[in-house]
Amino acid sequence: MNNKICITIGDYNGIGPEITIKALEMLAIPKDRVLLTGNKRIFQNFNSRHGYTKIPDYEIFEIPYDEKDYNPGKETAAAGEFSYKCLEAACTLAKNRVIGAIATAPVSKNALHLAGHDFSGQTEVLEKLLAHNNQKAEMLFTAGNFRVMLLTRHLPLSQVQITKELIFEKFVRLNGVLKEKFHIEEPSFALCALNPHAGENGILGRDEIEEFIPAISKLTDSGIKITRPMPADTLFAQAAADFRTGVQRYDCYVACYHDQGLIPIKMLAMDECVNTTIGLDVIRTSPAHGTAYDIAPYCCARAESMAAAIQEALRLCS
C-alpha cells in the first residue's frame, strides 16, 4: 500500500485551511508522506489576514479558486464546489494509487447543495466516487481504543429502520475491517438497542425481539462476538468509566443512529475524536466537527481533532 496520504483543505470559508495549517505545524511529517488538495493562494490569503508567515511545505494539487469568494464565515456555492473538487481529486489520486489514505477538513453540506451536489456529507461523496463491487461506506468514530460505529448515518430520526439484514451486513463488514485494518484478532462488539430499556420485553417496542435477536444469533453462529441489544444509556455510562481507565471491555460500540453514538464519544473525547470512513478500498479520516463558520474569521479554532485525523490516516496506511 502507498503510505502517502492526501489532505483535503475543505471549505475555505470555514476553518478548514486554518486547522490544516495548525495541524501540520503540530506534526512533524516527512514531506514525501503528504499531498494536499487545495490552492496555495488560500493559505496566502489566510496568512495575510491573520499574520501567519508559513505555508504548509508540502506538495499541493491545485484546485481552481476565485479569490473574490474568500469570505471566512460565509456559506457559498463557490466554496461548496471547491470542497467537492478537492474531494473528487483525492478520490482520483486514491484510485490511481498515488495515495493510500485521505484526511479531510470539514465541508458544509449546505454549500455542497448550493453548488448542485446533492449529498448529505463527505462519507456519501466518497461512497459515490470510490465504491465498487457493492461496497458500502460506514462511519466509525475513534478516540484511542474507544470506537463507535453507526448502523445508520445522516438520516432523519423518523427514517431510521433497523432490520436483521442490516445488522448482519454491517457487523460482518465491521468485523472484517477491525481485523484487517486495526489488527484486532478477535473483535468484540456491544450493540445498542433502538428502544428505551431495550424494548422492555416488547412493552416499549418489538424491534429488539423481532430484528435484533435473530441477527445476533446468526452473527454468533458465524463466530462474531456480540452482546445482546443493550440500553444505550447504561452501556455508554459503562464505556465512559472504561474510557477514564484507558481499557475498554469491547472493541467497538455500535449505535443505531447518529446522535445515539456521537453524543457520548464527543462528550468524552471531542478533541481526539476522529471520524473514519471504512468499508471502501481507501480509509478516510476527518475531525469530529464541522466548518465552524461562526469562528472562521477569528483564527481561534483548535486543531487537535484534525491533527488526530491526520495521524490516524498515516497510521492506517503504514
The full 3-state SS of the chain, as one line of letters, equals: CCCCEEEECCCCCCCHHHHHHHHHHHCCCCHHHEEEEECHHHHHHHHHHHCCCCCCCCEEEECCCCHHHCCCCCCCHHHHHHHHHHHHHHHHHHHCCCCCEEEECCCCHHHHHHCCCCCCCHHHHHHHHHCCCCCCCEEEEEECCEEEEECCCCCCHHHCCCCHHHHHHHHHHHHHHHHHCCCCCCCEEEEECCCHHHHCCECCECHHHHHHHHHHHHHHHCCCEEEEEECHHHHHHHHHHHHHHCCCCCCEEEECCHHHHHHHHHHHHHHHCEEEEECCCCEEEEECCCCCCCCHHHCCCCCHHHHHHHHHHHHHCC
Contact (CB, 8 A) for 61 and 87: no
Q: How far apart are the first and last CA of the chain?
A: 8
Enter the pTM of the model.
Answer: 0.93
Residue pLDDT, tens place only, 259-272: 999 999 999 999 89
Give all domains of the chain, ordered by start, each with its CATH number: 1-137+280-318 (3.40.718.10), 138-273 (3.40.718.10)
Say whether pLDDT at 281 is over 70. Answer: yes
pLDDT value for 111: 97
pLDDT value for 143: 95
123/139 Cα distance (integer angstroms): 8
Residue pLDDT, tens place only, 92-119: 999 999 999 999 999 999 999 999 999 9
DSSP bridge pairs for 276:
140, 285
Say whether pLDDT at 54 is over 80. Answer: no
Distances (CA, A) of 29 to 21, 129, 214: 13, 28, 47
Say whether pLDDT at 53 is over 80. Answer: no
pLDDT value for 157: 94
